[in-house]
């Protein structure tokens, strides 16, 4: 009997081709088990530097390292068979020069097997985007609210409330689109502007706190799953309340251990009778 052909994973070009056809489904993933589950439902999985806050308890994404991104990129790639996988270039890994960006992008792609890299920035990063794309590195852009710039932008606040901010975001979108980005995240941006940009760029737009008119949507998977109840951004919807489920499970486990109910005999290994 012949072996069935291995399913081909979606490519960055496939993601761009979905623009205008149907909405693109995206989520973040940081581990193999979660990637394996999400892969069935997502077109694109992003190994985001948000892992610094989600998995490591950092206050911002600024402290995330290349080694962390490589390790989690490898983990996610072990769990996918369908989705396009993009890995974030962390803060400090690409801003110095386009050559630095290329070295680190190549490292991510070689060591993880991912399909491309994501970087934040608009007009100021257009030359770098073009440099990477011309050398075979697919680039996923990121405009609007840019978490890596939180220390200079006044915190996590939505963008596009003034004409000056709107003009800058328009220029940023145009610049990285013309530089060859296959897609771009539009984050924390007023809805009419995100809608407008989606109609003016060739790249696929992926919204998070942007507009339902974007070509696709992305959320941090842990937010979507309701694992964090302390803070819920306006743009997040909980599709489950796993924090409550985990809390209840831990409470039940703790009670049974204290009462010596668990483990029961069925959970232990007994000496086998001699034959």
Region 102-115 average pLDDT: 98
Residue 232 annotated as lining a ligand binding site: no
Question: What percent of the chain is modeled with pLDDT above 90?
Answer: 88
187 is catalytic: yes
89 domain residue, yes or no: yes
Place of tokens 């013309």: 178
Residue in 187, 196, 230, 259 annotated catalytic? 187
pLDDT at 138 over 80: yes
Domain coverage including residue 124:
12-241
pLDDT at 97 over 50: yes
Per-residue pLDDT, 5: 47
Per-residue pLDDT, 154: 66
62 domain residue, yes or no: yes
Per-residue pLDDT, 7: 64
pTM of the model: 0.93
Region 133-152 average pLDDT: 92
Residue 118 annotated as lining a ligand binding site: yes
The string of pLDDT tens digits covering residues 205-261 is: 999 999 999 999 999 999 999 998 776 778 899 999 999 999 999 999 999 999 999
CATH code, domain carrying 211: 3.20.20.60
The string of pLDDT tens digits covering residues 70-96 is: 999 999 999 999 999 999 999 999 999
228 domain residue, yes or no: yes
246 domain residue, yes or no: no
DSSP code per residue over the chain: -PPPPPPPPP-HHHHHHTTTTSPEEEEE--SHHHHHHHTTT-SEEEE-TTHHHHTT--SSSTT--HHHHHHHHHHHHTT-SSSEEEEEPPTTSSSS-HHHHHHHHHHHHHHH--SEEE--BSGGGHHHHHHHHHTT--EEEEEES-GGGHHHHTSS--B-SSHHHHHHHHHHHHHHHHHT-SEEEEESB-HHHHHHHHHH-SSEEEEESS-TTSSEEEE-HHHHTT---S---TT---S--HHHHHHHHHHHHHHHHHTT-SS-GGGS--PPPP-
**28, β-bridge pairs:** 46
The string of pLDDT tens digits covering residues 158-209 is: 888 999 999 999 999 999 999 999 999 999 999 999 999 999 999 999 999 9
Per-residue pLDDT, 152: 67
Per-residue pLDDT, 234: 82
Number of domains forming the structure of the chain: 1
Q: For helices 66-77 and 98-112, give the axis angle rounded to 10 degrees.
A: 30
61 domain residue, yes or no: yes
Per-residue pLDDT, 150: 74
pLDDT at 1 over 70: no
Per-residue pLDDT, 226: 95
Question: What percent of the chain is modeled with pLDDT above 70?
Answer: 95
29: tokens are 């993933």
255 domain residue, yes or no: no
Per-residue pLDDT, 40: 96
pLDDT at 153 over 70: no
Residue 158 annotated as lining a ligand binding site: no
Residue 49 annotated as lining a ligand binding site: yes
Region 36-51 average pLDDT: 98
81 domain residue, yes or no: yes
pLDDT at 122 over 70: yes
Region 21-43 average pLDDT: 98
């Amino acid at each position: 009997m012949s072996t069935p052909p291995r399913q081909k994973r979606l490519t960055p070009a496939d993601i761009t081709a979905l623009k205008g056809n149907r909405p693109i489904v995206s989520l973040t993933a940081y581990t193999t088990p979660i990637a394996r589950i999400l892969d069935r439902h997502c077109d694109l999985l992003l190994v985001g530097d948000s892992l610094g806050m989600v998995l490591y308890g950092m206050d911002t994404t600024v402290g995330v390292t290349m080694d962390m991104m490589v390790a989690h990129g490898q983990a996610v790639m072990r769990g996918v068979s369908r989705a396009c996988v993009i890995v974030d270039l962390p803060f400090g890994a690409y801003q110095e020069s386009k050559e630095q960006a290329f070295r680190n992008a190549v490292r991510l792609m070689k060591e993880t097997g991912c399909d491309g890299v994501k970087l934040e920035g608009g007009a100021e990063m257009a030359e770098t985007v073009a440099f990477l794309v011309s050398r075979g590195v697919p680039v996923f852009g990121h405009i609007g609210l840019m978490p890596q710039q939180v220390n200079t932008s006044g915190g996590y606040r939505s963008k596009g409330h003034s004409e000056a901010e709107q003009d800058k975001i328009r220029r940023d979108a145009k610049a990285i689109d013309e530089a060859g980005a296959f897609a771009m995240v539009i984050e924390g941006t007023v809805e009419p502007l995100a809608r407008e940009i989606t109609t003016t760029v060739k790249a696929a737009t992926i919204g998070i706190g942007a507009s339902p008119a974007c070509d696709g949507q992305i959320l941090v998977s842990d937010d979507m799953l309701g694992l964090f109840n302390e803070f819920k951004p306006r743009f997040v919807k909980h599709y489950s309340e796993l924090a409550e489920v985990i809390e209840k499970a831990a409470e039940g486990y703790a009670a049974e251990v204290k009462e010596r109910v668990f483990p029961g005999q069925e959970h232990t290994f007994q000496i086998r009778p001699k034959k």
